[in-house]
Structure 1
Amino acid sequence: MRDMLDAAHSRRAVVKNGLLLAGVLAVPGAVSAAVQRLSQSALTPVAQPPVPGFPVPVARPVTSANVVRPALLRRALAALDAQGGRVKRDRIAIADFAAPSAQARFHLLDLANGTSKSFLVAHGSGSDPSHTGWLQRFSNDPGSNASSQGAFVTADYYVGKHGRSQRLIGLDPTNNRALERAIVVHAAWYANSDMLRTHGMLGRSQGCFAVGDGDLDQVFARLGEGRMIYAAKV
């Protein structure tokens, strides 16, 4: 009986996500690139999903087994809407920091066709000082090594101390020091899935969105530049 209730709940979440996504329009926007910009060939991404034209196709139900919770999705879409033309509106990433690091909680959604792909992502050590696997707090302070909440827009790619990385610009008072703090998207060994087998949780970043080594190409290809990452604990 419990399995039947859980299955029904999952179906309702998928349908609700699909209905919310169906009303989102693709509006172009961009963020200018900075120095040390990489070419697309240097990034070696997987095949880019098609960028929708007009009219936007009717959304299909989200296909990922790790669907975004409706309350978080509504908040992320409201943040996207508030930015207007400052960010592209065809795709979005949502980091669900209410979930533990052992779950695939970094959801990349294609808002044109309603599909999604979810990845593991680490949170900052300052957000989880006791290394419980759960984010305890956010911070925007330099030196805090904590994750920040709010809306980010993806900027340029570069090669730094963590290899291929992508700069982020914080759009809210809770994360507007992201560039100053060097909060970026990058790959890290401690965000690989084998950490779950040995430790039951991921390692921690210094506040960056650290994904697994094998996932970085897919994240870069699905997200790209000028799109929103929304991070929250709802």
Structure 2
Amino acid sequence: MIERLGTVHARRAVLKNGVLALGALAIPGAVSAAVQRLSQQALEPQMQPVPAFPEPATRPLTSANVVRPQLLRRALAALDAQGSRVRRDRLAIADFAAPSAQPRFHLIDLTDGSSRSFLVAHGSGSDPSHTGWLQRFSNEPGSNASSEGAYMAADYYVGKHGRSQRLIGLDATNNNALERALVVHAAWYANPDMLRTHGMLGRSQGCFAVGDGDLDQVFARLGEGRMIYAAKL
């Protein structure tokens, strides 16, 4: 594990980043001793669909390559909650309030505040009508949905999707990640040309699927032992 960064140094570095221009809002210095454990319902996806998020009158204002301050604060709080369990020099944030047509997978270097954003697909069970917007999360096996919460990036392997990286779910909302084989991998349906032909990406089975040409950069920036935080705020 890389030595824990000084809180003040890391957060000042992030706030310097022009991409995070609004990040000067206060970020909590600590969080409660543990992430609130959510009761897990016994769902049967075919018979009892996971309730959809209520659609707001206006969706949150998102922009390509920009990490929203509210989401950044939530992700940093989740990072604090994990303590030394995860490496703390870099952080990935999947902003599922943004449409799949926007680069919404943000990989942030907490030492200098720089970031890089990539396209990423969400699960078909999270968007049954294929609108390009995530409608709901699920942690249930067989749901083919994306799961919210904090993940730890684990080992690399070669599987049915080629080079991939396993993920360990750290919250009650995604603790079935290993069982569900939710991983980071490349997919043709997450390539930029999908936007030219369809206006949105295709959908995964809940995995963080990125474009074929982006996988090397994502793996290089993410690495093992770092945290991915996925949410829709």
Which bracket does the TM-score occupy, shorter chain normalised?
A: 0.7 to 0.9
**What corresponds to 2:41 in structure 1?**
none
Q: Deviations over 1:54-113 (max 9, x none)?
A: xxxxxxxxxx97120000000000000000000000000000000000000000000000
Aligned counterparts, 1:107-146, within 5 A: 107-146=106-145
Does structure 2 conserve the Cα–Cα contact (< 8 Å) formed by 1:13 and 1:70?
Answer: no
1:176 aligns with 175
| Deviations, residues 176-207 of structure 1 (Å, cap 9, x unaligned) | 00000000000000000000000000000000
- Cα 1:217–1:12 change in 2 (3 A) is closer
Aligned residue number for residue 22 of structure 2: 16
Aligned residue number for residue 196 of structure 1: 195
Q: Find the residue that maps to 2:21 and give its secondary structure.
A: helix
Deviation at 1:18, TM superposition (A): 6.7
TM-score by length of 2: 0.75
Supply the AA of the counterpart residue of 1:89: R
Q: Which residue of 2 aligns with 1:91?
A: 90
Which residue of 2 is the match for residue 72 of structure 1?
71
Q: Scaled by the length of structure 1, what TM-score is found? A: 0.75
How far off is 1:19 after superposition? 7.5
Structural mapping, 1:152-163, within 5 Å: 152-163=151-162
**Deviation by residue 1:115-163 (Cα, 9 ceiling, x = unmatched):** 0000000000000000000000000000000000000000000000000
> Could you say what secondary structure the match of 2:23 adopts?
helix
CA contact (8 A) 2:64 2:104 kept: no
Secondary structure in structure 1 of the residue aligned to 2:106? strand
Output aligned runs, 1:33-48, within 5 Å: none
Q: Following the alignment from structure 2 to structure 1, what is the Cα–Cα distance between the partners of residues 225 and 121?
A: 22
Distance 2:222 2:170 in 1: 17
Matched with 1:167 is: 166
**Percent of residue pairs bearing the same amino acid type:** 83
Separation (CA, whole Å) in 2 of partners of 1:172 and 1:88: 17
One-letter amino acid of the structure 1 residue matched with residue 201 of structure 2? L
1:94 is matched by which residue type in structure 2? I
Question: Runs of 5+ in structure 1 lacking a partner?
Answer: 1-10, 25-63
Indicate whether 1:220 and 2:219 are aligned: yes
Query: What is the alpha-carbon distance in structure 1 between the residues aligned to residue 89 and residue 23 of structure 2?
Result: 15
- 1:12 & 1:93 partners in 2: Cα distance? 17
AA paired with 2:137? F
For 2:22, the aligned partner's letter is K
Report the residue type matching 1:198 in the other structure.
Answer: T
Match of 1:138, as an amino acid? F
8 Å CA contact retained: 2:25, 2:69 = no
CA drift at 1:12: 8.6
Within 1, Cα distance between the matches of 2:96 and 2:195? Answer: 17
Q: Please provide the CA RMSD for this pair.
A: 2.1
Conservation of the 8 A alpha-carbon contact between 2:118 and 2:214: yes
Q: 1:224 to 1:18 in 2, by over 3 A?
A: farther
CA contact (8 A) 1:18 1:114 kept: no
1:158–1:13 CA distance, 2 compared to 1 (3 A): closer
Q: What is the CA–CA distance in structure 2 between the aligned matches of 1:17 and 1:107, rounded to whole Å? A: 15
Measured in 2, the distance between the counterparts of 1:183 and 1:133 equals 20
